[in-house]
Amino acid sequence: MKTINPEELKTILENHKHWLYENCEGWENMKADLTGADLRGAYLRGAYLTGADLSGAYLRGAYLSGADLRGAYLRGADLSGADLRGADLRGAYLRGADLTDAYLRGAYLSGAYLTGADLSGADLRGAYLTDAYLTDAYLRGAYLSGAYLTGADLSGADLTDAYLSGADLTDAYLSGAKNTPYIPMVCPEEGKFIGWKKAEVQEEEENHYRKVIVKLEIPASAKRSSATSRKCRCNKAKVLEIYNFDGTVAKERKCYSDYNNDFIYEVGKTVKVDDFCKNRWNECAQGIHFFINRQEAINY
């Protein structure tokens, strides 16, 4: 572990700014290399560390609030108890990092790589984790109230006792996640109901297709699910009608899945998917995909 005194750290940070701005002779060799550095309790508030190498660094209890760590390499770094409130960690590489009890309130972690990171007890209230990679991460007892987890990959993550009140989990991927919180399904859990999906019809001109909207009746006996978005899946449905986008009835009596043209929707007939995936968190798995609302199907 490298020991760095305050003056050395100041010089490293100043040189790193030159590397960032390419504004002096020799800037190419001025990128901050703090691998394995002992920076316990270091005062780095608002520091510019974009793209810096801090892999394996010992930053326990460091003050990094408002720091710019975009694209920084922090693999295996010890950030336990560190103050990272409002820090910019977009696209940072934090695989296997120790962030237990870290303060990340309002931090920007969109697109950050946190695979296998330990965030147990971390304060992530209001943090921006859009499209973050949290596969196999430990989030035991983490505070995620009001956090933005849109599109985040939480597959295999441990969410035991995590606080997710008000968190935005739209399109989050939770397949294989442990102890996931209760998230109600968008579609009714029992009984028959109406669903809508976008499909396409083949027009007279060869290889020319037009988008249409299919009205489906999902029977009471159908398996159904939804994950964290508005999209639903089922294993069977009756085709009630085919509509043009303007709401008029289409002249065609059958249409095709825009994902698989071999899958045909014909008015009056029931379509089935034999290999329906029962894992509700695997949103794009096998099944008949649809929306409860017609406009949502059009917009998709």
For every one of its 300 residues, what pLDDT tens digit does the chain have, with 9 covering 90 and above?
788 999 999 999 999 999 999 999 999 999 999 999 999 999 999 999 999 999 999 999 999 999 999 999 999 999 999 999 999 999 999 999 999 999 999 999 999 999 999 999 999 999 999 999 999 999 999 999 999 999 999 999 999 999 988 888 888 999 899 988 778 899 999 999 999 999 999 887 777 889 999 999 999 999 999 988 889 999 999 999 999 999 999 999 999 998 998 999 999 999 999 999 988 888 888 999 999 999 999 999
Query: How many CA atoms does the CB half-sphere of 145 hold within 13 Å?
Result: 7
Same domain, 77 and 164: yes
Sort 245 into a burial class: Cβ within 10 Å, 0-12 / 13-18 / 19+. middle
Same domain, 28 and 40: no
Q: In angstroms, rounded to a whole number, what is the distance separating the alpha carbons of residues 136 and 39?
A: 27
Residue 141, phi then psi, degrees to nearest 5: 65, 15
Same domain, 205 and 132: no
Q: In angstroms, rounded to a whole number, what is the distance separating the alpha carbons of residues 221 and 240?
A: 17
41 to 58, 75, 82: CA distances (angstroms): 9, 19, 8
Final residue before a domain boundary, out of 161, 183, 205: 183
34 to 31, 47, 59, 72: CA distances (angstroms): 10, 14, 11, 11
Same domain, 163 and 216: no
Which residues span the domain enclosing 16?
2-32
Whether 64 is covered by a domain: the verdict is yes
Same domain, 225 and 170: no
